[in-house]
């Protein structure tokens, strides 16, 4: 494995990266695994696996309550990940980082806490047509429970956010929050977050970005974006499941009531009355996902050791190659043609249903997603029932995309 001459520090050595991911050497149905479903959940590097195992083997207890060595060390480890996440997002303060279970829980936290306290009945929340269900359903629930209006900003036929239409939706200044994806999990489209934030603020609205996909591929600076809320999940960022992040401006978090009540989020409790712990602990009721947070910390370190510039360049080259290769397959249609797009490519094929495509590819060891990708309204907007989706990660190779392409040629002839 290690007989390759050392590369200059700036080069992106995908084979060396792949060696960090034990699962990538697995075979599936007798074929080499070609994992092109990282947008659903990414594989984990050895560093993450080891960090979680090591914590369980050497240094584990509950956090924030034990007056003993193990608890203190575990608390340090857990809390240091808060520092790491703050640095990752370029957040002004570590206290603005709230650990949640995933993106879904982070958005539900905002909808429930901010939505019911800061938003008044009659005010509106704007989402877009290309949201994941996790950024649709919590707002529908808020609408039904709290009387807010839910507005939907359209996407263009090319799969980009229609900014002019967004501005129209903001025009009556009744919008309290704009909640929009930073990168579409179906189309790969990056949304122009700075412009969305500046538009929202111009009309007196706050802005939340769903960074579930974006944070995997690009350096995020919540201050440069001028965001008010930013959420992401750990398992797409090469970390474990069960850990996600909500970042919000401190002044918002201070005003927001708790989401869940219980241990760890209180300052004092009597049967008559309880007072809340300070931010961020006010929003972290119960024993948190300690090991998962430690795993997330290892994942962030791993990604940063490679560097977002290198990752972005690698994935851009892969995406360009995939778009060129797949578009040349007769009868195959790539969905979306945004100018600014990342390593997620959805497609349909004449005469072949997405599920049949996925099953055939699976027989060649290729894992892709097929279906509506938890974005049914976007599918309806595009006039589709389902698509197949290949998504790329820092461990994806050009050769894997060629394997996908060769197999798709065969799928095409199979169903003709």
Cβ 211 to another protein shortest distance, Å = 26
Pairing of strands 175-181, 206-210: parallel
Phi-psi region of 159 (alpha: psi -120 to 50; beta: other; left: phi over 0): left
- Choices 178-186, 216-224, 232-240, 402-410 (CB under 8 A): range interacting with another protein: 402-410
Among 354, 366, 368, 382, binds another protein (CB under 8 A): 354
Site string for another protein, 27-46 (x = CB under 8 A): --x-----------------
Specify the residue, 233 or 403, whose C-beta has the smaller distance to another protein.
Answer: 403
The radius of gyration computed from the CA coordinates of the chain, to the nearest angstrom, equals 22
Cβ 65 to another protein shortest distance, Å = 41
Q: Does 414 bind another protein (CB under 8 A)?
A: yes
Nearest to 323 by CA among 308, 336, 313: 336
Cβ 373 to another protein shortest distance, Å = 10
Specify the residue, 65 or 410, whose C-beta has the smaller distance to another protein.
Answer: 410
Instruction: Give Cα 366 to chain centroid, integer Å.
Output: 22
Cβ 141 to another protein shortest distance, Å = 18
Rounded Cα gap, residues 325 and 346, in angstroms: 13
Specify the residue, 215 or 326, whose C-beta has the smaller distance to another protein.
Answer: 326
Helix (H) or strand (E) holding 70: helix 69-89
Q: What are phi and psi of 367, to 5 degrees?
A: -100, 115
Among 194, 313, 385, 399, binds another protein (CB under 8 A): 385
**Measured over all CA atoms, what is the biggest interatomic distance in the chain, rounded to whole angstroms?**
72
CB–CB of 254/265 below 8 Å? no
Rounded Cα gap, residues 336 and 333, in angstroms: 9
Q: Does 399 bind another protein (CB under 8 A)?
A: no
Nearest to 344 by CA among 380, 324, 316: 316
**# of chain residues touching another protein (CB under 8 A):** 24
Cβ 360 to another protein shortest distance, Å = 6
CB–CB of 312/325 below 8 Å? no
Cβ 352 to another protein shortest distance, Å = 8
- Choices 9-17, 230-238, 251-259, 379-387 (CB under 8 A): range interacting with another protein: 379-387
Specify the residue, 256 or 411, whose C-beta has the smaller distance to another protein.
Answer: 411
Q: Does 140 bind another protein (CB under 8 A)?
A: no
The vertex-134 CA angle with 165 and 373, nearest 5°, equals 85
Specify the residue, 68 or 363, whose C-beta has the smaller distance to another protein.
Answer: 363
Among 117, 144, 359, 399, binds another protein (CB under 8 A): 359
How big is the chain, counted in residues?
Answer: 416
Specify the residue, 212 or 386, whose C-beta has the smaller distance to another protein.
Answer: 386
Rounded Cα gap, residues 18 and 13, in angstroms: 9
Q: Does 73 bind another protein (CB under 8 A)?
A: no
- Which residues are known to be catalytic? 374
Q: Does 350 bind another protein (CB under 8 A)?
A: no
- Give Cβ neighbours of residue 399 (< 8 Å, ≥ 6 apart): none
Rounded Cα gap, residues 402 and 416, in angstroms: 21
- Choices 94-102, 112-120, 323-331, 370-378 (CB under 8 A): range interacting with another protein: 370-378
- Choices 174-182, 220-228, 286-294, 351-359 (CB under 8 A): range interacting with another protein: 351-359
Q: C-alpha distances in angstroms, 348 versus 331, 357, 387?
A: 8, 9, 5
Q: What are phi and psi of 264, to 5 degrees?
A: 75, -20
Which stretches of the chain bind another protein, using CB under 8 A? Answer: 29, 351-356, 359-360, 363-364, 370-372, 376, 379, 385-386, 406-407, 410-411, 414-415
């Amino acid at each position: 494995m290690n007989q390759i001459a050392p590369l200059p520090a700036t080069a992106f050595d995908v084979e060396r990266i792949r060696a960090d991911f034990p699962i990538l050497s697995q075979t599936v149905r007798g074929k080499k695994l070609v994992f092109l479903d990282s947008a659903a959940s990414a594989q984990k590097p050895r560093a993450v696996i080891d960090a979680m195992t090591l914590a369980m083997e050497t240094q584990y207890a509950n956090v924030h309550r034990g007056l003993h060595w193990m608890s203190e060390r575990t608390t340090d480890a857990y809390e240091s990940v808060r520092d790491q996440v703050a640095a990752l997002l370029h957040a002004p303060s570590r206290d603005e980082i709230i650990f949640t279970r995933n993106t879904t829980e982070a958005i539900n936290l905002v909808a429930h806490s901010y939505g019911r306290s800061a938003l008044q009945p009659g005010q509106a929340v704007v989402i877009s047509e290309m949201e994941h269900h996790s950024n649709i359903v919590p707002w529908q629930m808020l609408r039904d429970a709290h009387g807010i209006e839910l507005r939907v900003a359209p996407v263009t036929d090319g799969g980009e956010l229609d900014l002019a239409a967004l501005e129209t939706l903001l025009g009556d200044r009744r919008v309290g929050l704009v909640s929009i994806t930073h990168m579409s999990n179906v189309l790969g489209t990056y949304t122009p977050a700075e412009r969305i934030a500046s538009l929202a603020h111009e009309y007196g609205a706050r802005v939340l970005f769903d960074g579930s996909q974006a944070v995997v591929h690009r350096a995020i600076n919540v201050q440069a974006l001028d965001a008010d809320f930013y959420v992401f999940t750990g398992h797409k960022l090469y970390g474990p499941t069960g850990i996600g992040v909500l970042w919000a401006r401190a002044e918002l978090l201070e005003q927001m009531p708790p989401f869940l009540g219980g241990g760890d989020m209180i300052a004092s409790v009597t049967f008559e009355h309880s007072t809340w712990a300070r931010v961020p602990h006010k929003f972290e009721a119960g024993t948190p996902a300690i090991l998962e947070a430690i795993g997330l910390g290892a994942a962030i370190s791993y990604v940063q050791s490679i560097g977002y510039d290198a990752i972005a360049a690698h994935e851009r080259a892969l995406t360009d190659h995939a778009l060129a290769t797949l578009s040349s397959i007769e009868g195959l249609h790539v969905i979306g043609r945004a100018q600014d797009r990342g390593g997620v490519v959805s497609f349909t094929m004449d005469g072949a249903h997405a599920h049949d495509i996925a099953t055939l590819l699976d027989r060649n060891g290729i894992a892709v997603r097929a279906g509506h990708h938890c974005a049914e309204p976007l599918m309806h907007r595009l006039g589709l029932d389902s698509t197949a989706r290949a998504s790329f990660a820092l461990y994806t190779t050009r050769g894997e995309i060629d394997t996908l392409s060769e197999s798709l040629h065969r799928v095409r002839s199979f169903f003709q």
